[in-house]
Structure 1
Amino acid sequence: MASEEELFASVDALLEEGPQLPPPSERARLREAAGITQARLAQALKSTTQTVKNWENGRSEPKPPRLEAYQRLLNGWAAKFPTHGTHGTHGTHGTHSSHGPAPLPMTPPVPQPQPAPDTLTPPAPAPPAAVRPRPASPERPSRPGTAARRPAARAAEPAPDPRFPHGPLVVLDGDGSAYGVDGIVLDCPATTVPELVEWTLVESGLGAPRLHRNGKDSDPLIVLTAAAAVRLGLPERLEGFEQRRSLRLPDDHPVVKEVTKAKWKLTRRGFGPWARVYRPARTGQRQCVQLAVLSWDALDERSWPGVQDMEPADVARVLGIYARRVITPRGSTAVSGLELMTALRPPTRAVQDKESGNWVPGHNPGSLGTEPMDPAPPEARPEHPVAQGWKGGFLNEEAFQWVRDVPLLTDEECLLPHAVGLDLNTAFLAAAARLTVGLSAPDHFRHPQFNPKIPGSWFVDLSHIELDPRLPSPFTPTGERPTGPAWYQTHTVAYAQELGHNVAPLEAYLRRETGAYLDPWHDRLKTAYVDTLADLGVTKDLTDTEFLTVMEHHRETDPALAAVLTAVKATVKGGVGKLREGPQGKHYRDGERWPALERPTWRPDIRAAVISKARVNMHRKLVNMARMTGLYPLAVLSDCVVYPSPGASPLHFLPYSASGKPQPGGFRLGPGPGLAKLEGVQDMAWAVDLMEKGYNPARHIKGGDAVLDEGE
């Protein structure tokens, strides 16, 4: 049993700890009782009005030296303005004290999270700032002008990880306010990049849990506004520093030297719009922080429309929703799309060594592994080392870019008043569903028997297949009939069989180990896409008429959510594109390896499988539409198709049954991947005029009068 002396020593140690503040509501009461405004208090404490607001609503807590000064002020006010029912120097519980005002109520202590194996264990961390309770529905604004609907049921979001109480990221402003998810604002005292990294890892409580049990937790992301960049010693704009592949600070820049002097490292891409500052992992603990500089165009306007010009809190909301539904951004949306594949299919898992009994990293079945894999020569880019000297042709699985020959237009079609464009929602994502791809290296075969269940590349002659000239050929991106043997992905050859034609491959590169590698990637992005659309009022229970009406203005409902929606779509296309990333830089020479080839996810064969399936899916719908309605497309561009129409709405030509239900097999309206939405409507004469000039109406149908002197 502890002695009295030991107990008193423990109590004295508690008394010597830092000052404790009263609850937020009491802080606000005392200030208002003193007749002091938040702005005046902020001026006295050399802070900002927003920071004082955060202290008084529990979003953040002050740090030394402001903490001691604020405590002294509150103690003084507490003596002058005691709570109701106290008198003179009586404390809050009515006990008399002869040593001045009674101590103020203590803020409940924040429990310390237990570190995961891949997170930094900080030495004696300061308690993280208090988290404001999450609003009931911060991401689902009401839809003006439409009838109220019960929101679609969705899986409950996982409980916040106690190791990361403040979410995955913050947006840092020039005054040291760090805006996080759900309205949280933290005080960041850092004035240099090394201090910012230390604060992030030790005090901020930022990060995100792994998406797969065999994966790694997401590193915290700090997004810097222009003012924050300047405060940290960075240039406001990154101009005139072009080196190697992209814009980045030169190695002799003072900030880069600061980082190096503090024994932190930068990745090979250096300090650019997206930078990773890290130390090599020790005993399995990661020490890494991601930085994104807004004024250096870290958020591409095409993928994040309008986000760069938003207020920091709104930027944090956009990126926070994306991080929660997709992944903490790690670069461009293309980079994030590729990283998401690895996060959901980690290359390794813990396995027990039979001899030593120790747990060691081992291959995770269904993943792409840890080592890069060269493609077969016809699957590679022409610059690739394995393609040097190869004369057997290359796989050309790309999306449609086709326009019907004008002489094939009928008088009846030309007399129709409108050209209506339909766009398939995330067509590549729909194609990734239940897609079997190769996981092992390719093996070469001569005169193999075609098997539609084996992913790979087949050299086969499909030029004898004759189809309706009013439809594009499904075997080429241009829609033109093949002229001889060529390389095709499995789905393209299987579709030739589906159309009733015999196929006799001359050779093939096939993979023995296969799997649905992209399934979890598809599932997560599909959920993110559908949920974000639902938050914008576009739900699956809408009728087709209601769907078209809501889609006209859904982006105006909430610009932040609209930006998330665009980013999700860009993640799909960019992630697929990254599977075949090419060399960059004017000094590259054919035959040299480039950095992307060192990734296990450099897999042009998987990209070809996605695009082949998407193109086949599109063609199948075109054939079914012609069979059910007698209508033929004017043009196709990737996932957009233009039809002549008697009315200015898809409802005038889409096939419906007598009961009013959409006919299966054709284009159907709706919010899900693979379903269609209205892309645009123009006069039929406008479309014919573009076709006669050699332009693709599907490219311009959304924008109306397009600039036509730039070519296609």
Structure 2
Amino acid sequence: MSELFDRVDALIASRATLPPPSERKRLRQAHGFTLDEVAQALQVRRATVGGWESGRTEPRPPERDAYARLLAKLAELYPAEAGADVRTPASARVQDEATPETPVPATVTATETRTPSPEPAPDPSPEHTSRATSEQNTGHPSRTASPPARSRPPSTTEQTSTGTAAGTPSSRRPAVQKAAPAGTTADGDDSRFENGPLAVVDVQDGQVYAYCVGGLVLDVPAKSIPALVDWTLREARLGQPKLSGPGKDADPLLVLTEAALKRYGLPVALTDEERRAGRIPENHKVVRHLARSEWKLTKRGFGPWARIYRPAQGAERACVQLCIPSWHALDSRHWGQAAQLPAAALAQVLGLYATRVMTPRGSTAVTGLELMTAFHPPTRASAPDKDGKRHSEHNPGSLGRDPVDCAPCEAPDGHPLLKDLPRFHVRGPGEKLFEEACDWARPLTDDECMRRNLVGIDVNMAFAAGANGLIVGLGAPTHVERPRFDPKLPGSWLVDLSHVDLSRVKVAKDKWVELDGDLLPSPFTPKGERPEGPAWYATPTVAYAVELGYDVHPVEAWVRPDNGRYLDSWYQRLRDAYLATMADLGVTADLAPEEFLTAMDGYRDRDPQLALVVSAVKATVKGGLGKLRERPRGEGWRPGEPWRALSRPTWRPDIRAAVISRTRINLHRKIVKHAAFTGQYPIAVLSDCVVYATDGTSPLDFLPYRDGKPLPGGFKLGVNPGLVKWEGTQSVLWGEGVREQFDAPELNLARYIKDGTVTDIDNGE
């Protein structure tokens, strides 16, 4: 019986009432406690207590009841001033993660009529990418482990966090504290978007609810899709302020659950034909109803990511985006099982992503591309002319509003620039820029075969780090014959690098080292083979040859004199989103190497919903860069004909090539530094993963740390983009066995090092 009592006590403790985050901080500071002192007393990390005080995270048992006891004692010593709001936040009244029930929401009603912010109408083109979006200045939503709990209806006299009394909803938001995003101020609220960037629309017991970030739930009176769009624009107060001065505010996003689809007359799933078309038919009753109500759809139609708008009335803008998870709007490769989350939980996941990155505009790839444009809109308002009028003009630092042709060497196969080539002509390295991630492996040496294990390390956010500080072209290319190479001039260079010998390279000013070049991949080809003659390279690749100590003499080049650090803000936004979410999961940038490895162990299991956001942020990086060279997808396209993506100013294969080039070179530089210092060489490299043979099982068994400090210019363990983490460990016997089984002595083991599962031999991604 005592065990039963203990479980009951533990259950009560798990719901220990806590004051709001701001009050927690006030009480600690009132008694003169530091974060370190509280953390030490509760046996948690300093950052964990900071997260509780900022509202990013909530304590869980057994720390929760101890923390509640501490705050209760401090509250007795330092009572709040009269009139101060110290109500228990909604996030403290949650159900545990194991509860499968869908909550009954406590609702508020948006009663004020709100006119949408004045903006121009959206371009109906399906590839329209010039509108900017922004983070919600109201801050990050308070993260909870699960959606609000199903509870008994409060009595008519009971005060609630979402209204004055049960049965009397009000426009007051729940008492959920929010941490402001990086770069914003505490008073940076925008009342136009006070309910956040998005809402998940669901139906329970016949009532339609809109679940917003921070635990807010709104009653939705709309009976049809046109009415829902109108309600969103006039009353819901959803959206986000712009990210940059010349940009535009983000349109509100509504996510429709299966119950909401049924309620509004939409199919729960698309047929095979509709899925291939990417939309429901134009004669569908909902589409016809929208047309009768004078709402329009973009050329993409009513699909998983539908945009519903009305043409501009003067400067006034009216546009709402829909996301339909059951139509596969949330790709499981990037969003995991987010589409299966309850409405409240899905609102928190998407809301956190929207707050830290931007309101999703489609897939993570589309959103990654849109984020670039959000920081650098193509146009801006000019200074007033003599009549006091402003005009639209080019926004310096942007890619402009009109697409530019790439250089012939940068054009992918099938591009209109290549339409005059013979039908079956295969372009070689002297005709085609081929900057791709490294995919290289070699047989083990006799000494490496005597080692016990193969240990893989992986570069965090490698392609994001490759974009940081990179100078890229902003305009059209200029052709130059016999140019002098300039490492600061972005472009594509035809140059012979076959003379670069990795057996003798420069690793510092006037410092040359001798290496075993046969054990290193060439940095100049994706497969790590030494080039045989002139080939096209992006600027970072040629600059690396010079850095290694070799002269270069380009034959010709396509350079871009109009250039700039176009991707810096994009990188910083995604870096901050990644680091903030990893910190919420307990992995911070200030950890020592051993602590970092421990923190990374099982970090996804600490909060699976936060882990979904991490995955989506990473996919936003890779997908956004991939969109810079989007290829034709069906549509009856034939080689030599243009495809949709070419009409975008953000179709820039040269920028993609430059980022990949720099990412590959960054990794190779670390490999060379490591080999020069330790005599250790990789046995496999795949994109951002490197595998070494060693007797130990951890990266610390072969990375040359001295007194906790890494090799300068080499690999360093840590969470920041560009630093490395442990990818996986397998035995040398496993590696040799796999290669022997498939009769592939140079099988790239980096592809399978994570868990040892070999599913398909070297077939790419």
TM interval, short-chain normalised: 0.7 to 0.9
The counterpart of 1:338, out of the listed 358, 363, 369, is 369
Equivalent of residue 501 in structure 2, options 447, 466, 478: 466
Q: CA deviation at 1:707?
A: 1.9
Specify the alignment match of 2:296 in structure 1.
Answer: 265
Deviation at 1:469, TM superposition (A): 1.6
Residue type at the aligned position of 1:279: R
Equivalent runs, 1:392-431 vs 2, <5 Å: 393-404=431-442, 406=443, 409-431=444-466
Query: For residue 217 of structure 1, what is the aligned residue in structure 2?
Result: 249
**What whole-Å deviation, never above 9, does each CA across 1:112-157 have from its counterpart, x for those lacking one?**
878643289xxxxxxx9624245346899xxxxxxxxxxxx99756
Match of 1:482 in 2: 531
C-alpha offsets along residues 414-461 of structure 1, whole Å, 9 cap, x if unaligned? 111111111100111101111101111101111111111100000011
Q: Which amino acid aligns with 1:705?
A: T
Whether the 8 Å CA contact 2:439–2:685 is kept in 1: the answer is yes
Say if 1:139 and 1:561, in contact at 8 Å, map to a contact too. Answer: no
Asked if 1:702 corresponds to 2:754, the answer is yes
Once residues 601 and 380 of structure 2 are traced to their aligned partners in structure 1, the CA distance between those partners, rounded to angstroms, is 47
Rounded to whole Å, the distance in 2 between the matches of 1:308 and 1:134 is 27
Cα distance in structure 1, aligned partners of 2:367 and 2:354: 10
The code of the aligned residue for 2:354 comes to: A
Structure 2, gaps ≥5 residues long: 1-84, 86-100, 122-168, 422-426, 503-516
SS in 1 for 2:259: helix
* SS at structure 2 position matched to 1:163: helix
| TM-fit CA distance, 1:698 | 1.0
How many residues align structurally?
590
Instruction: Note the alpha carbon deviations across 1:648-675, whole angstroms, 9 max, x for none.
Output: 1001000112x23112111110010000
Q: Is the 8 A contact 2:470 2:565 kept in 1?
A: yes
Q: Give the corresponding residue for 1:241.
A: 273
Structure-to-structure mapping, 1:13-92, within 5 angstroms: 54-55=106-107, 60-61=108-109
Does residue 117 of the first structure (1) align with residue 149 of the second (2)?
A: no
Q: In the alignment, what sits opposite 2:145?
A: none
1:87-123 Cα shifts (integer Å, max 9, x gaps)? xxxxxxxxxxxxxxxxxxxxxxx7x878643289xxx
Following the alignment from structure 2 to structure 1, what is the Cα–Cα distance between the partners of residues 385 and 191? 35
1:316-351 superposed Cα distances (whole Å, 9 cap, x missing partner): 001111111100001000000000000011111110
How far 1:516 moved relative to its partner?
A: 0.4
Answer yes or no: is the 8 Å Cα contact 1:457–1:510 preserved in 2: yes
Task: Tell whether the 8 Å contact from 1:139 to 1:535 is kept in structure 2 after alignment.
Answer: no
Matched residue of 1:600: which SS? coil
Write the letter of the residue equivalent to 2:256: L
Structure 2: distance between partners of 1:49 and 1:131: 23
Match of residue 182, structure 1, among 214, 227, 233: 214
**Superposition map of 1:372-411 within 5 A:** 372-389=403-420, 393-404=431-442, 406=443, 409-411=444-446
Match of 1:596 in 2: 645
For 1:164, the aligned partner's letter is F
Q: What letter is aligned with 1:291?
A: L
* 1:481-531 per-position Cα deviation (integer Å, ceiling 9, x unaligned): 112111000010010111111111000001111100111101111111111
Are the equivalent residues in 2 in contact too, given 1:131–1:165 (CA < 8 A)? Answer: no
Q: 1:269 to 1:157 in 2, by over 3 A?
A: farther
1:442-521 equivalences in 2 (<5 Å): 442-467=477-502, 468-521=517-570
| Residues 540 and 671, structure 1, Cα contact 8 Å, conserved in 2 | yes
CA distance in 1, matches of 2:727, 2:381: 48
Higher Rg of the two aligned structures:
1
Unpaired stretches in structure 1, ≥5 consecutive residues: 1-24, 26-47, 64-109, 121-127, 141-152
Looking at structure 2, the residues matched to 478 and 599 of structure 1 have their Cα atoms a distance apart, in angstroms, of 31
Q: Which letter maps to 2:365?
A: A
| Contact 1:424 1:640 survives alignment (8 Å) | yes
Following superposition, the deviation at residue 177 of structure 1 comes to 1.0
The answer as to whether partners of 2:748 and 2:762 remain within 8 angstroms in 1 is: no
The secondary structure found in structure 1 opposite 2:106 is helix
Residues 1:135 and 2:170 are matched in the alignment = no
Write the mapping of 1:309-324 to structure 2, written as runs, cut at 5 A.
Answer: 309-324=340-355
CA root-mean-square deviation: 2.4
Of 329, 332, 335 in structure 2, the residue corresponding to residue 301 of structure 1 is 332
List per-residue Cα deviations over 1:40-62 (Å, max 9, x = no partner): xxxxxxxx9966x524xxxx138
Alignment correspondent of 2:236? 204
Per-residue CA deviations over 1:585-640 (Å, capped at 9, x if unaligned) read: 06210111111111110000000110000000010001011011111111111111
One-letter code aligned to 2:192: R
CA distance in 2 between counterparts of 1:524 and 1:250 reads 38
- Structure 2 residue aligned with 1:67: none
The answer to whether the aligner puts 1:570 opposite 2:619 as a matched pair is yes
CA change 1:114–1:266 in 2 (3 A) is closer
Q: Is the 8 A contact 1:418 1:681 kept in 2?
A: yes
Q: Is the 8 A contact 1:459 1:505 kept in 2?
A: yes
> Aligned AA for 1:179?
Y
TM-score under structure 2 length normalisation: 0.74
Please say if residues 115 and 234 of structure 2, whose CA atoms lie closer than 8 Å, have aligned partners that are also in contact.
no
Percent identical pairs in the alignment equals: 54
Preserved contact between residue 382 and residue 388 of structure 1 (Cα < 8 Å): no
CA shift digits 1:657-696 (9 cap, x unpaired): 2x23112111110010000011111111222334454332
In 1, Cα distance between equivalents of 2:114 and 2:178: 26
Question: 2:687 matched to 1:638?
Answer: yes
Per the alignment, do residues 259 and 137 of structure 1 end up closer, same or farther by CA in structure 2, a change over 3 Å counting? closer
Q: Match of 1:352, SS? A: coil
Contact kept? 1:403, 1:691, Cα under 8 Å: no
Asked if structure 1 preserves the Cα contact closer than 8 Å seen for 2:472 and 2:490, the reply is: yes
**Partner of residue 681 from structure 1, selected from 687, 710, 729:** 729
Shift of 1:160: 2.7
Which amino acid in structure 2 is aligned with residue 191 of structure 1? Answer: K
Q: 2:225 pairs with 189, 193, 215, which one? A: 193
Does the CA-based 8 Å contact 2:278-2:300 persist in structure 1?
no
Whole-angstrom distance in 1 between the partners of 2:365 and 2:525: 25
Is it true that 1:291 corresponds to 2:326 in the alignment?
A: no
Q: Distance in 2 between matches of 1:465 and 1:336?
A: 40
8 Å CA contact 1:131, 1:184 repeated in 2: no
Q: Is the contact made by 1:622 and 1:666 (CA closer than 8 Å) also made in structure 2?
A: yes
- Matches of 1:164 and 1:155, distance apart in 2: 15
